Structures are given as structure tokens and as C-alpha cells.
Structure 1
Amino acid sequence: MSPGAMSPGATSPGATSTALDAGLDRHRRELHVHCYRMLASYEEAEDAVQETYLRAWRSRDTFDGEHLRAWLYRIATNVCLDLARARSRRVPELHSFAEVGWLSPYPDTLLDGIASGEDEPEGFAVARETIELAFLAALQVLPPRQRAAFLAREVLSLSAAETAQLIGTSVAAANSALQRARETMRRHLPSHRDDWAAREPGTAERALLDRFIDAHQRCDAAAAIAAAAEDIRITMPPQPMCFEGLAMVAPLLERAFGPDRDGDWRLLPTGVNRMPAAASYLRRPGDTVFRGFKLDVLRVEGDAIAEITTFGPSLFGVLGLPVELAEYPLSPRRAGRGPRTP
């Protein structure tokens, strides 16, 4: 099911207002995800959805009363194109997430809240979308209009005609943009992915997340290194730093866990972008509580952690996580065994 025909007509003001009032809230979350894919930023997606609703209300007389979802998608796409042009942000060549300084995570709990049935258009969009960080970062290599065309065809499954109308161009131009976008995405997606479908974290990923959490809470650098791939990569958007390989990563772990560390760690498991993640809390010397410090998102290959993307704690609230901890949260394997000291 696609978002629907793309030709708004006219209807009575009363019917238009009623349809908008009834439909805007229903489509808010999937529009937010669409804007997030376009902009790769949770916060900017929030702004884009607000602007979408303002533009929709101001132009409600052009709404035909039947194809609300399609009409909103077109407005949201134009909002994102305007924002992308205004910010003039694009990654010429993607080597790591460090080059996408505006990249931010998207909570799995919010993705779970969108309808998932095949007969629901909202669920169709989310079930088909690709939301992993690698996909989001690769999208940022595309010029904004190519990005919109690619998402329209590959994620929303629009026809060529619908895609052309969505981005305000001819069918031929939309097809050309799509072809160029496909070639660019194939060059920049990681080699470990042979498709663009999102995956649920598997047993191996959850086990590695447990090991990651356990190593941090025990301040065990050797255990953390043992869970990592030889060519592991760590990035910390918006910081431009990129650490590649155990030779570069091991000193970071020794510093974080050694005798000169900044404090003690407690971690909570969570999930973002359909990837395993851990929220880290740091208790500095002399403090009485563990305070929100960072969010580590793990990409797993085989039986090792291949990549860690570290974000700040700004989305802890959206993730339903506390900003500080007074107790010792336990890893899933230690539930019911009582607290422990590092």
C-alpha cells in the first residue's frame, strides 16, 4: 500500500478541518520517522513535523478530504528539502559516522508504537523502512532531492508518477534521480549488508550487549577488548574523531576502566534504530549518584562488536531512561543476585 494518490482537490472548510483534526495525530509518528530519515536528526525531525503541521493548516483549503496521508507526506518532504537546502549539509564521501556530525539516534520504543499490521499504511511505512545508522548516514551522501526520491520508491513504495509529484519534478527526472541515488547507496552502505531491510536484534547481539555492559560495570578492559572485533570502529557524533582497530581503541578502554578513570560505571540496556544500545551512567569520585553520561549503539558482526557509535545523553528522557541512578542496576544475567561493587 502506498500513501495514496497525489492529486489534492477541494472540499468544504468544515470537512477539511474535521479531517485534519482527526488525521494529524494519527500520522504524526510515521511523518516524524520520514523526516528523520531525510534529516538524520531526531531533534530536527521534531522541528520538521511541527512545520509540516503549520503548513498543512495554512493550506488546508487545498486538501481534497480523501488522501490526507499522501498530502502530508508531500508537505513533510518539501519541509525537509527546504531545511536541507538552508543548512547546506551533505557528506561528499562517507568513511565513518564521524563525518555526519548531525546524526542522532531514534528510540526503538517509538518505532514500536507505530502500527505494524500489513493492512495499516503507517505499519507499511515502518515495516519497510530502513532505520539502522549505516543506512541513515549513507542517505546523507545523497543530494536532498535524490534522497527524497530514493525514500519514496525504496521505502514508501510509491510509483514513479507519485514520486515525481512528491518531489515536484517530472517522471523522467524522478527516475534519473532514483537511479543515481541507488548507485550511490550501493557504494556507501557497509559490505556486511546485502539488503536494506531493518532487522530485529538477534540472540548474539543481545549476548554481546550483556558482555559489553558487564565489562563496563566491572571496569574490565580485557573483557571489553575480548568482545570487540579486531577492526572495531568507534565514532562519537558530533565530534569528528574516529578510532579504528583495537590498537587505537584499547588505550581508550584502559583509560575509561583503569585506576585513573573518571569514576564508576552503571549501564542500562536499551535499543535505538533497531540496534542494541547501552545507556551509561558515571559516578565521579565524591558523588553519591550515577549521572547520565552517554549512549553507546552497537553494530554486531558475527560474534563480535564491529562498531560503537557514542552519543550524548540528550535522548535519555525520550528513551524512558532516568537521568541519574542512585542504585546499582544489574545486567540481565545478574537479576536477583543483589548488587555488587566494581
Structure 2
Amino acid sequence: MVTDTMDDTEFAALTEQHRRELRVHCYRFLGSLDEAEDLVQETFLRAWRGRDQYAGRASVRAWLYKIATNACLDFLGRSVREIPAVDLPTASGAHLAPRPAAAVPWLQPCPDDLLDAAIARETVELAFLAAVQHLSPRQRAVLILRDVVGWSAKETATALETTPASVSSSLQRARAELRAQLPSRRTEWRVESRSEERAVVSRYISAIDAADDAAIAAVLRDDVRCSHQPGAGGHDGPEPTWYSGLATVLEGWAPALHGPSPLGLRMVPTRANGGPAVATYFRHDGRYRAFGLNALLIVAGKVAEVTTFAPTVFGAFGLPDVLPD
């Protein structure tokens, strides 16, 4: 039990065991791993300051979840973050696909090493996290506590200082909005086994390494989507960029693979958000330097989506900025 006579060591021993799941909880709320780390620290600080108010009526885990939830709500109340409206391609950018509603500029990938093996994959997929960002903060809290954490309406109402009826109403609206934001074909996706994913990733890396358009086309779906988050792959704009369709993606990759000065590259497989990913390094000044992290969605043995994040996320994955010689 948490008491006001606890010292730092005793408090840490009691609460630190929940750090990993609290980080994932905050990450679902915010979509940003960096912000989630900050909010976990804020959660422990609030818990330490309020330890004398903990009466032991709930578990320490539930107490910390309540604090973390309200810390996230307070953060979102102070933050001004807007998701760009969904626009159709302009004449000057006719090759671009319409920006999907789930495009979120601040979305960051999460290394599998930071996820608990028991976490349901669909609750940490990038598509789910992006869709959650479209919910109001209060709807977000209700959906995550009820449908992900598994709390009852009464427990959720207590944490949010509202009524079970209000929680049920918010949950209904949140579920409807979430369905509207998630990809329509998501329910049809079959989760590949790890061995199947590794085989596809190996083919993907080999095809790109060989700059073999036929092999690349064979490993990508015809309706493949390719996106660049802000700062990824040289895209420095404030909004994500999306491409759609096999021919368009191959055309977009052609300068790097077949241009007058093809960019030498190396790729390192890793995992993000419960799925496969590839860290890409491009040769510059004689060294292979971080270029972007590609999170891959594999459907029926082919790559259906490639979401490229800026190399600023490499540190969280334990990846170097420059590959050793």
C-alpha cells in the first residue's frame, strides 16, 4: 500500500513495475512516444505528491491508471494540435493520393521491445492509434479505459469524475467515430505469423537492394499505399504525404533506385507496433546515414502499406544514426 511515510526507494519498488504499461496507455492517448514518456514521468510525480491521498480502496495499478489518464487529459487541454483536413490532390500534385483521415503529423512508431507481449496487437497498430487521435480527449479516455483497459462503466466514471450513464453515451459516440476513421478493409486483414512476415520483409529488402522493379512489384500489393511523415525521407513539410497504387509508388521510388546517381542504401529489419519495420540508411559522404524508418503492413503475403518516419525515431529503437563500417 502507498503511504505518506514511504521513502523514494519503497515508492519506486511499488510503482515502477507499472511503468511499461502506463507508457503504452499514454502512447495510445497521444500517438507520440516522446510525449508518452513525458506523461509517465508526470504520472509518477503526481502519484508521489498525492500518495497521502491514496486510501487503498483500489489497486495501485488502478490508482496509477487514473492519474495517468487525467495527466493525459490535462496535457491535451493545454495543447493545440490539429489534424489536417482531408484534401483532394491539386493539379500541381496530381500524383498524390487523397490524404486519408487517419493521417496524423505527430504520430510516432513504438518499438516492440517497449510493448508487453500480452498487449492486443490491434490496440497498438498505427491505424488504430491514428484513428484514436480524431476523438475528443474525453471520448479518447472513455474508449481506452472501457475497450482497451477493460474497466467497467462505474470504474471509468469514478476515474473521470462523471456518471456511468455519461460514460456509456461517450463510449457509443467514440466507437462510431473510431469505426469511421479506421480503414474499411481492416477487419479483413489476416495477421501474418512472424515467419511469414520475416519472409516478406526479406523479399522486400532484397528487391529494393537489387533495384529490381519486377521483384519490387511482386512484393507490393496493387493498391499499396506509401506515406512520409513530416521530416521523413527528406520531406520536411508539416503534413504527411501519401501515395497510392503500385505504378505511382514505383514511379516515386525510381529516382532513388535508377536516377543518374542512385542512392546506395542498407536496410536493417526491426519491429514496430506489433508488426515488421525496416530502418533505411542511405550512403552519404562515404557513410551509411539514417534516412527513415519504414513501418510495413503485410496483408496476404504482400506489403500493403509503407509508412516512413523521420530518423529522429531511431534512438527509441536502439538504432545508430550512422552504420559502422
Post-superposition shift, 1:200?
6.7
What residue number does 1:50 align with?
A: 41
Whether contact under 8 Å (1:288, 1:326) holds in the other structure is no
Question: Does residue 1:110 correspond to 2:102, yes or no?
Answer: no
> Could you tell me which of 70, 81, 87 is aligned with 1:78?
70
TM-score (ref. length: structure 2):
0.85
What residue number does 1:13 align with?
A: 4
Measured against aligned partners, the alpha-carbon deviations of 1:157-212 in whole angstroms (never above 9, x if no partner) come to 1011011122221111111011111111222222333299x957543322221111
Distance 1:11 1:325 in 2: 46
Measured against aligned partners, the alpha-carbon deviations of 1:68-115 in whole angstroms (never above 9, x if no partner) come to 11111111111111112222335487753773000000000121xx4x
Question: Does residue 1:34 correspond to 2:36, yes or no?
Answer: no
Query: Is there any run of 5+ residues in structure 1 with no aligned partner, and where?
Result: 1-9, 117-122, 328-342
Distance 1:44 1:175 in 2: 28
Distance 2:229 2:3 in 1: 48
Q: Which runs of 4+ in 1 moved over 6 A?
A: none
Distance 2:54 2:164 in 1: 23
Distance 1:199 1:27 in 2: 28
What residue number does 2:157 align with?
A: 164
What residue number does 1:251 align with?
A: 251
Whether contact under 8 Å (1:90, 1:140) holds in the other structure is no
What residue number does 1:131 align with?
A: 124
Cα gap change, 1:74 to 1:265, in 2 (>3 Å):
same
Count of residue pairs the alignment pairs up? 304
> Could you tell me which of 139, 146, 158 is aligned with 1:146?
139
Corresponding residue SS for 1:321: coil
What residue number does 2:271 align with?
A: 271
Query: Is there any run of 5+ residues in structure 2 with no aligned partner, and where?
Result: 87-98, 231-238
Corresponding residue SS for 2:105: coil
Post-superposition shift, 1:128?
7.6
Post-superposition shift, 1:296?
0.4
What residue number does 1:298 align with?
A: 296
What residue number does 1:330 align with?
A: none
Measured against aligned partners, the alpha-carbon deviations of 1:229-281 in whole angstroms (never above 9, x if no partner) come to 11111111234311111232122111110133452010011000011100011
Post-superposition shift, 1:63?
1.4
TM-score (ref. length: structure 1):
0.81
Measured against aligned partners, the alpha-carbon deviations of 1:22-73 in whole angstroms (never above 9, x if no partner) come to 2221111110000000000000101111111111112121112462111111
Question: Does residue 1:236 correspond to 2:214, yes or no?
Answer: no
What residue number does 2:103 align with?
A: 99
Whether contact under 8 Å (2:192, 2:299) holds in the other structure is no
Distance 1:37 1:110 in 2: 13
Whether contact under 8 Å (2:83, 2:105) holds in the other structure is no
What residue number does 1:311 align with?
A: 309
Distance 2:120 2:126 in 1: 16
